[in-house]
Chains A and B, each alone.
Chain A
Amino acid sequence: MENKKCISFGLERKTGVNVSHCYQCGKCTAGCALASDMDLPPSYIMRLLQTKNAENDHRVLSSNAIWICLNCENCIARCPKEVDIPQVMDYLREESRKKQCINEKSRSIVAFHSSFLHSVKQNGRLYEMGLIAEYKARTLNLLQDVNVAPSMLMKGKLHLLPEQIKDTKKIQTIFKRTIEIKDKRKV
């Protein structure tokens, strides 16, 4: 593969992170709360990116690891080289969406993020009931949280109607000028 097409090239250009700084000590994986649930643990993702090989790049972009990553940032806290793996993960998620190779098992997570952002775009603030309704529609997980939702309502933790900010137009402009430039599929 031509060098400029590999993920590590674009990654370095956009975030400044150089994957070759990783010397595979494995402390990120050892400190990762979800490494055992990931198909590719963080240190292995770094190794695959170092190979600059198209097939390995594809494995990384279609992994479930990049989506279940919690952004807890323990990896960079423990990395002796301070390789910014959280930034790598953010970049990989964007690329995975752009190239449409989102891991099948991670679609519910992406559906949650999309529903969240859609709610923010419409109201300027999160409207939880709208978020959950849209998430259910996207994933057909209809039974999700039917046991906690009524108690939340009783305890005054949910708004029945969305609370809109005054300047929702500004928020919509921000979406148009950022995420929607690259992403023709609106959130």
Chain B
Amino acid sequence: MRIGFYPGCSLNGTSREYNESVQALAKAMNIDLIEIKDWSCCGATAAHSMSKELSLALPARILALAEKQGFEEVVVPCASCYNRLSVTNHEIMHNEELKDKVLTAVGMPYFGNVKIINVLQLIEKYMVGQLSEKVTHPFAHQVACYYGCLLVRPHKILQFDRLEDPQSMDQILSLIGATPIDWAFKTECCGAGLSVARTDLVGRLSGNILKDADDRGAEAVIVACPMCHSNLDMRRSAINKNLEKPVDIPVLYITQALGLAIGLSPKELGLQRHFVKVNLKEVEACQR
């Protein structure tokens, strides 16, 4: 099958390991992901904080490129890019006047024939059927599945999973032998785009998330968003300043957890790129 792939800037740089693990997992599952040629940035939080028109035009270029290159379905692993592309797709296809304005700025046609899916939908749709038989190293850990904001909100547009207590990641993790915990911060914000400008706030918000996961016995936090990952992982020293008891639980992308379970090596999944050491027994056994 021919599935389009939009990595976005984070997966191209600061979250390289997410890209590596998505690619490695797709390859192991015989899924061909084809990168959209000459893709550009979606504009992220910066664009829609500064200009509504820009925040629609940047994603619209990507949608138009994908359509032109013949993709009906595009997987977007970054939750922020997934959100911006989905919201743009919805807004311009529901407002003719806005669509004309945005596409004039972009200078390309777009007919609305592209479907955007996130990484959980990719796994559910194309991998779940063959997952159980491929598991060689059950991921036997208590895990906190952390969805963050952008995969589930705005619910009216995204229509993905449950708004306050989503389940899709929990169900996928159960299939590889993990035990997802019940916890309170599944969709609370980590601080997202304020990582650089207000690291203090990110430290506090992400601290609340990790403390709850730790208190309830999670051995790992599982994410599907590069911003959630970099805030919970790279900002760990800022986080631990806010906590009475420092937390050392690792944060893994869902694609890394699945990859480990089907026997891919920690290196091809990019686990060495994390700031917080992934001190799980199967990873240490491989590295020895």
Contacts and interface: CB of A to CB of B under 8 A. Distances in A.
A148 interface: yes
Interface string A151-187: 1100111110001011100110111011101110001
B184 to A, nearest CB: 13
B149 A73 contact: yes
B279 interface: no
Nearest to A109: B197
B196 interface: yes
Interface string B55-84: 101100100000000000000000000000
B196 A68 contact: no
B196 A70 contact: no
A166 B43 contact: no
A174 B61 contact: yes
B277 to A, nearest CB: 12
B275 A179 contact: no
Contacts of B192: 70-72
Interface stretch (B10-18, B117-125, B256-264, B280-288): B10-18
Interface range, A side: 35 or more
Interface in B29-45: 38-41, 43-45
Interface stretch (B100-108, B138-146, B172-180, B210-218): B100-108
Interface centre among A93, A109, A147, A187 (most CB of B within 10 A): A109
B161 interface: no
Nearest to A151: B275
B35 to A, nearest CB: 12
A181 to B, nearest CB: 8
A69 to B, nearest CB: 9
A171 B40 contact: yes
B198 A113 contact: no
A137 B268 CA distance: 37
A110 to B, nearest CB: 8
A86 B235 CA distance: 26
Nearest to A145: B196
A159 B12 CA distance: 9
A37 B198 CA distance: 12
A113 B49 CA distance: 8
Interface centre among A34, A108, A132, A144 (most CB of B within 10 A): A34
B51 A94 contact: yes
Contacts of A103: none
B188 A152 contact: no
Interface stretch (A21-29, A54-62, A118-126): A118-126
A82 to B, nearest CB: 8
B155 A178 contact: no
Contact of B13 (A93, A158, A167): A158
B49 A93 contact: yes
A77 B234 contact: no
Interface in B232-280: 234, 237, 272-275
A171 B54 CA distance: 10
Contact of A174 (B14, B57, B191, B237): B57
B197 A108 contact: yes
Contacts of B197: 108-109, 111-112, 135
Nearest to B40: A124
15 contacts: A71-B193, A72-B149, A77-B164, A94-B51, A109-B198, A112-B196, A113-B45, A124-B38, A145-B196, A151-B275, A155-B272, A165-B38, A167-B38, A170-B107, A173-B107
Interface of A: 14, 33-34, 37, 67-68, 70-74, 76-77, 82, 86, 90-91, 93-94, 97, 108-109, 111-114, 116-117, 120, 124-126, 128, 132, 135, 144-145, 147-148, 151-152, 155-159, 163, 165-167, 170-171, 173-175, 177-179, 181-183, 187
Interface of B: 9, 12-16, 38-41, 43-55, 57-58, 61, 104-107, 149, 153-156, 163-164, 187-189, 191-194, 196-199, 201, 205, 234, 237, 272-275
Given A70-B193, A71-B192, A171-B58, 18 more contacts: A68-B194, A70-B189, A74-B187, A90-B52, A97-B50, A116-B46, A120-B43, A120-B58, A124-B41, A126-B13, A155-B272, A155-B273, A155-B275, A163-B12, A174-B57, A178-B57, A179-B50, A179-B53
